Amino acid sequence: MPERRPAARRAARPSLRRRLLTFLLVPVLGVLVVDTVVGYFIALAYSNRVHDSDLSDSALTLAEMIGSDALRGELTAQARFLLEYDPDGRNYYEVVSDRHGRIIGNAELAVPTRRAVDVDAAPLLYDTDLGHKALRAAVMRVANRHDAGDTLTIKVAENLRDRHQRAREILLLTMPMQALLIIAVLSLVWFGVSHGLGVLEPLTTRLGRRGHDLGPIGEEDVPVEILPLTRTIDDLFARMRNMLGLQERFIADAAHQLRTPLAGIQLHVERAGPPADAAQQRDALAHVHRLAARAARTSAQLLALTRTESPDLPDHDGMPVIDLAHVVPEAVGMRVHQALALGVDLGYEGADAACLVRGDALQVQEVIDNLVDNAFHYAGRGHTVTASVARDGVEVVLAVDDDGPGVEEAFLDQLGERFFRVPGVDEDGTGLGLAIVESIAERHAARVAFGRSALGGLRVELRFAAASAPA
């Protein structure tokens, strides 16, 4: 059983060739069947027309051949031969006199009731039956040449077997041509589908030679019908390139940023080993603890930055509506204990009215955390840090101010770059906090600005487009 599963899976796979042949051959076969049926009815109509003409001629001939013997219930030899030539007895006749009644015939045939039969008019053709047999009949009225004032009604009928037999013979004569037509059509469809799918071979060959290349497929040899597919694949390749780029950047950044603290940890671990005294060991372990915390923070920020740049996150229009006047003070409140421990006066200022924007509450909290950490790091103990939310026309402004030393004008444009640290500041920072803020702001279609705070230090503000309340 395990050996048969791959074959079963292959058989169950959708096939473009099989689908095209199904959609082409089934309708073609249906058309050919309909053509055969229509051909039979056309042949039957032709047979009916020929037999109707013969039936009218028989009625006219019988009217000409009736002599005086007919009044005594007899027919002339010529008339009898005309009517009784069929050995299977499929022909019927009857002659009725208006004055003398039925004078001769081999069956009682009904006359049409919906239409009158005029004297000396052309034979009238109609359908009738005899018992359970369907008949086609011709009737005409003529003046009796042997009895002045009398009128004869002449009826001639035949069953329908000959008509259907002739139609089948005509159809059988055309069947070889129909069979050749069917074979020709099926062959042309098969060849057309097989040859048409051959246009995919250059594209398949080119893609097979790409190896690990994730560049766009291009459109120079792509049929119009599969352009949507190749464009979708190009979009997928672009997302894969972005993901691989993020992965490579993360690996490179991690290697670059973690190299220094890991080397420091190794150095201080060696210092803490024998023959170090207790004071040297305590100092080395303190450095190890500080460097391990720095490595952990660097790793966390690298992961946070990578998450913010992930293409799998929803775009700005797909984000829910949130109230920054509610989200920001909650995020600031979670950092109060740390601010007290660091000796920093952390506060919040905001309007009482709702400040609605489209965004992700967790990412906004990430922004607050990084801005507050940045202010703690650069302002330091004894300083003030204030987060605020305000409505400014059609925008909502989220800002963090501090009264620290600030940043020189020459370096403001570089804030937000990955791993950039203001010269003269100790090396504990990673240079990723403001880069994370920039990435989240871009995801939220917000603008980031750096400048001098009214408190005297640095001011970082994000301007979001205001949103209306959801229905």
Which one of 127-131, 214-218, 243-247, 466-470 scores highest in mean pLDDT?
Answer: 127-131
Mean pLDDT of 31-42: 84
- Does 455 fall in a domain? yes
Q: How far apart are CA 79 and CA 58, in angstroms?
A: 10
In this prediction, residue 447 carries a pLDDT of 92
- Containing 122, the helix (H) or strand (E) segment is none
Query: Which of 364, 320, 330 is closest to 350 using CA atoms?
Result: 330
**353/408 same-domain check:** yes
Q: From residue 438, give the alpha-carbon distance in Å to each of 19, 370, 376, 418, 444.
A: 51, 11, 19, 10, 10
- DSSP calls for 277-296: -HHHHHHHHHHHHHHHHHHH
**Whether residue 341 sits in one domain with residue 458:** yes
Structural domain includes residue 170? no
Cα–chain-centroid distance for residue 161?
A: 56
> What is the CB neighbour count within 10 angstroms for residue 316?
16
Q: Work out the widest C-alpha separation in the chain, in whole angstroms.
A: 160
Residues 276 and 342 placed together within one structural domain of the fold: no
Least confident of 29-33, 110-114, 220-224, 434-438: 220-224
350 and 461 belong to one structural domain: yes
134 and 243, same domain (yes or no): no
Please tell me the predicted confidence (pLDDT) of residue 385.
94
- Give the model's pLDDT for residue 429: 61
For residue 348, what pLDDT is reported? Answer: 93
Residue 90's pLDDT band, with cuts at 50, 70 and 90, is: low
Which of the four pLDDT bands, split at 50, 70 and 90, describes residue 87? very low
Residues 285 and 341 in one domain: no
Residues 442 and 331 occupy one common structural domain: yes
| Tally of domains in the chain | 3
CA distances, 394 to each of 332, 333, 359, 442 (Å)? 24, 27, 16, 18
The amino acid at residue 260 is T
pLDDT at 2: 46
Question: Looking at the predicted structure, is the pLDDT value of residue 200 above 80?
Answer: no
Question: For residue range 318-365, what is the model confidence (pLDDT) as tens digits?
Answer: 788 999 999 999 999 998 998 998 899 999 998 778 899 999 898 898
CA dist 228 and 137 (Å) reads: 67
CB 51 within 8 A of CB 163: yes
| 46 within a domain of the structure (yes/no) | no
Which of 308, 335, 364 finishes a domain? Answer: 308
pTM comes to 0.47
Q: What is the pLDDT of residue 97?
A: 86
For residues 342 and 15, the model is more confident at: 342
Bigger pLDDT: 8 vs 327: 327
Q: Hey, what are 423's tokens?
A: 């010269």
Closest among 196, 241, 192 to 215, alpha carbons compared? 241
Identify the CA nearest to 430 among candidates 422, 439, 440: 422
Q: Which has the higher per-residue pLDDT, 118 or 458?
A: 458
> Greater confidence, 222 or 130?
130
143 vs 78: which has the higher pLDDT: 143
**Residue 439 pLDDT:** 85
Do 117 and 235 fall into the same domain? Answer: no
Q: Is the peptide bond before 274 cis (omega within 30 degrees of 0)?
A: no
CA distance 396 to 447: 11
Q: What is the pLDDT at residue 88? A: 46
Q: Which domain holds residue 454?
A: 316-465
Please name the helix (run of DSSP H) or strand (run of DSSP E) that holds residue 275, with its range, or none.
none
Tell me if 454 sits within 8 A of 401, measured CB to CB.
yes
pLDDT digits 0-9 by tens, 63-81: 877 755 555 545 566 666 6
Whether residue 209 has pLDDT greater than 50: yes
Lowest-pLDDT range of 29-33, 224-228, 241-245, 421-425: 421-425
Does 281 lie in the same domain as 342?
Answer: no
In which band, very low, low, confident or very high, does the pLDDT at 144 lie, cut at 50, 70 and 90?
Answer: confident
- pLDDT tens sequence across 232-290: 888 887 877 777 776 666 666 665 556 666 667 776 677 677 776 777 777 777 767 76
pLDDT tens profile 286-311: 767 766 776 776 666 666 666 666 66
Question: Is 274 inside a domain boundary?
Answer: yes
Range with the poorest average pLDDT among 127-136, 189-198, 215-224? 215-224
Give the residue from 161, 182, 197 where a domain finishes.
161
| Average pLDDT along the chain | 79
Q: 46-55, 183-192, 281-290: which has the minimum mean pLDDT?
A: 281-290
- For residues 441-465, give the mean pLDDT: 90
Does a structural domain hold residue 6? no
In a domain, 234, yes or no: yes
281 within 8 A of 269, measured Cβ to Cβ = no
With b for 16 or more beta-carbon neighbours within 10 A and e for fewer, the 122-145 pattern comes to: ebbbbebeeeeeebbbbbbbbebe
Asked if residue 244 and residue 368 are part of one domain, the reply reads no
Residue 75 has a pLDDT of 57
What type of residue is 14?
P
Q: Do 260 and 365 belong together in one domain?
A: no
Q: Which residue is it, tokens 């139609």?
A: 167
Q: Looking at 139, 161, 183, which one is the last position of a domain?
A: 161
Which tens digits make up the pLDDT trace of 362-406? 889 889 988 998 888 888 888 999 999 999 889 999 999 999 888
The average pLDDT across 183-207 equals 78
Task: Identify whether residues 341 and 252 lie together within a single domain.
Answer: no
Task: Tell me the torsion sign for CA atoms 349, 354, 357, 361.
Answer: positive
Has residue 136 been placed in a domain? yes
